[in-house]
Amino acid sequence: MVAALAGGAYVPVRGSQKVSLCREGVRTMGCLALNASFEPLTIIPARRAIRLVLDQKAEILEMDPGRAFRSPRTELPFPTVIRLVRFVHVPRRFRRQVTNTFLFARDEYTCQYCGRHRGKLKGRQFLTRDHILPLSRGGDNSWQNLVASCSPCNNRKGDRLPAEAGMRVLTEPREPNYVRLVWTVRRVTPQQARYIKMFYGGEVLTTLQAGLGDLEV
């Protein structure tokens, strides 16, 4: 069982216990995890969020009133936002493999040569990754050597440097901030988006809207 705290937060009143989670609830919504400082960290499965609450490692800040986790002996609210009890260190540099998903998010889904957003590409045109220094000429797959490029610009540049093709990179490619990048590729509810906006401001949500559709907060 859980008990309400001041400010609408929830924490367990008993120790860890096994709870049979509703599969429908787990499948349809994730939970926003905040650091102890209220910094948004990531979206985690609701099953994981409940486990953190039961282990007294997190408290529930927001929940879905229309859903609950039930077992034969207890019922728990369905968390949509939790806050960790203890502060955890978050890496400020994003050192995972550069996937197209994260690359396009970093470049705000815009070709870094012609400036067209992916929503303005026509016909069979699409976003691709481009190596500023081609792999055949010693380039690598680092954040600093990769940019989003529409397919026409990529074909035009070919196996050349941008200057050799009469092109220029609109924004200097850099390794992005870990946490900010995560939010550009996550689908969040308006309730969860309020916490992201509260901590990072509207700029991150603008990027979310550009890549994933409108969010009202």
pLDDT in tens, 24-76: 333 345 899 999 999 888 888 888 999 999 999 999 999 988 888 887 888 88
Tell whether the model's pLDDT for residue 163 goes beyond 60: yes
Tell whether the model's pLDDT for residue 216 goes beyond 50: no
Number of Cβ within a 10 Å radius of residue 85: 14
Better-scored residue on pLDDT, 4 or 134: 134
For residues 5-9, average pLDDT: 41
**What is the per-residue pLDDT for 142?**
93
Look at the chain and report how many structural domains it folds into: 2
- Evaluated on CA atoms 108, 111, 113, 114, the torsion sign reads negative
pTM above 0.85, yes or no: no
**What is the per-residue pLDDT for 184?**
64
**What is the per-residue pLDDT for 113?**
98
Q: Does residue 77 sit in the same domain as residue 109?
A: no
Residue 135 lies in a domain: yes
**What is the per-residue pLDDT for 44?**
86
Q: Judging by DSSP bridges, how do beta strands 30-34 and 75-84 pair with one another? A: parallel
| 3-state SS assignment for residue 67 | strand
Q: Does residue 108 sit in the same domain as residue 84?
A: no
Tell whether the model's pLDDT for residue 170 goes beyond 60: yes
Tell whether the model's pLDDT for residue 175 goes beyond 80: yes
Q: Retrieve residue 32's tokens.
A: 């926003």
Better-scored residue on pLDDT, 5 or 66: 66
Q: Does residue 86 sit in the same domain as residue 20?
A: yes
Q: If pLDDT is split at 50, 70 and 90, which confidence band does 7 have?
A: very low
Q: Does residue 13 sit in the same domain as residue 116?
A: no
Which of 53, 44, 43, 54 lies closest to 18, judged by CA? Answer: 54
Task: Quote the domain boundaries for residue 73.
Answer: 2-91+184-212
For the chain, what is the mean pLDDT? Answer: 80
**What is the per-residue pLDDT for 4?**
41
For residues 72-88, average pLDDT: 91
Residue 146 lies in a domain: yes
Residue 177 lies in a domain: no
Q: Does residue 18 sit in the same domain as residue 85?
A: yes
Contact 41, 33 (CB under 8 A): yes
Q: Does residue 80 sit in the same domain as residue 109?
A: no
Number of Cβ within a 10 Å radius of residue 91: 10
> Mind listing the pLDDT tens digit for each residue in 103-142?
998 898 999 999 999 999 999 999 999 999 999 999 999 9
